[in-house]
Structure 1
Amino acid sequence: MKTFKKILIVLLIALIGLQFYRPEKNDATYRDVAAFETETKPTAEIKTILESKCYDCHSNKTEYPWYAEISPVSLLIADHVEEGNEHFNVSAWDSYTDKKKDHKLDELIEEVEEGEMPESGYALLHGDISEEEKEALMAWAKKARENYDLQ
């Protein structure tokens, strides 16, 4: 019993200490998605889906929930946002070549179709997208890919 108590105390001290470490936030002054939206022409419905389910992890500005201030959740969120931006950042759309833009939209279609996006942890806390929203999102991305016909 003494060992268990010691372990609990050490874990509690570690958890308290962890609260003083804050990962860097993805908090640009504004969410720059204009180039992406101008070029890909999402409908109002698609913009709503992108804003509510995609842009937090895939743009230069994340709207953080209150629980993002609590470690270790803050560390997990920071990792997800960093990884999301590494793979696809709509705020960097202008810096992508046409080939890369086409590839990113193709990946978007694949990830949504396979149920990989939004991630299950995000969907659990923020709500998943419906089958109708998935279909609309994939149809829009397929149409947007026509801008980069690379054949």
Structure 2
Amino acid sequence: MKYILVVLLAVFLLLQFFPIDTTNPVSSEGMDFIQTKNTPESTAVLIKAACYDCHSNQTRYPWYTRIQPIGWWMKDHIREGRVELNFSVFSTYSPERQAHKLSESVEKIDSGEMPLESYLLTHPEAKLTPEQKQELTTYFKKMESDIRYSHNLPLNAKP
């Protein structure tokens, strides 16, 4: 038993020599959702607190991401989040994709899927009150509607 613990400790220590890259991709403010949509300050604060760590190029890496394999898991989670929706490059999406991603965001907030429970454990500031959820979903619905209207897209169409 003691041998197994020593081996596990050695493996754990060895893993620490393989940290994750915490460099965020460079992006232009001219492509960022909050900037391009002239998001009101109170709504922008909510979006940044609840969404931006996983869904933008402005990730704040907490101290525990320096511990492996936690850091690897977090990096993969962030990569997947950015692939799904990246607010830092939102203006590069087609109008159809922008509208669809906003519609999906509303669904995920309403259903309680987002922000993730695992994220909320270490980021209590991201926990949304019912009023904050309403503020976000109302704003996202308005932005979706504006995009659909300005590009003559059908309502509730999928990309």
State the TM-score, normalizing by the size of structure 2. 0.84
1:143 aligns with 2:142: yes
1:8 aligns with 2:5: yes
Query: Which shows bigger deviation, 39-48 or 109-118?
Result: 39-48
Distance in 2, matches of 1:32 and 1:38, equals: 6
Q: CA deviation at 1:33?
A: 6.9
Contact 1:31 1:59 in 2 (8 A): no
Structure 2: unaligned runs, 5 residues or longer: 155-159
Contact 2:30 2:36 in 1 (8 A): no
Distance in 1, matches of 2:33 and 2:77, equals: 21
Q: 1:79 to 1:35 in 2, by over 3 A?
A: closer
User: Alignment RMSD, CA only?
Assistant: 1.8
Q: 1:34 to 1:44 in 2, by over 3 A?
A: farther
The one-letter amino acid of 2:129's match is S
User: Which residue number in structure 2 is paired with residue 37 of structure 1?
Assistant: 34
Contact 1:111 1:117 in 2 (8 A): yes
Contact 2:51 2:115 in 1 (8 A): yes
Contact 1:112 1:134 in 2 (8 A): yes
Distance in 2, matches of 1:17 and 1:39, equals: 45
1:54 aligns with 2:54: no
User: Which residue number in structure 2 is paired with residue 18 of structure 1?
Assistant: 15
Contact 1:32 1:59 in 2 (8 A): no
Distance in 2, matches of 1:61 and 1:146, equals: 26
User: Which residue number in structure 1 is paired with residue 87 of structure 2?
Assistant: 90
1:99 aligns with 2:100: no
User: Which residue number in structure 1 is paired with residue 157 of structure 2?
Assistant: none
The one-letter amino acid of 2:47's match is L
Query: Which shows bigger deviation, 59-68 or 78-87?
Result: 59-68
Q: CA deviation at 1:40?
A: 3.1
Percent sequence identity over matched residues?
A: 33
Q: 1:31 to 1:122 in 2, by over 3 A?
A: farther
Q: CA deviation at 1:26?
A: 4.5
Contact 1:55 1:62 in 2 (8 A): yes
Contact 1:31 1:60 in 2 (8 A): no
Q: CA deviation at 1:42?
A: 2.2
State the TM-score, normalizing by the size of structure 1. 0.89
How many residue pairs match? The answer is 148
SS at 1:41's partner residue?
A: coil
User: Which residue number in structure 1 is paired with residue 122 of structure 2?
Assistant: 125
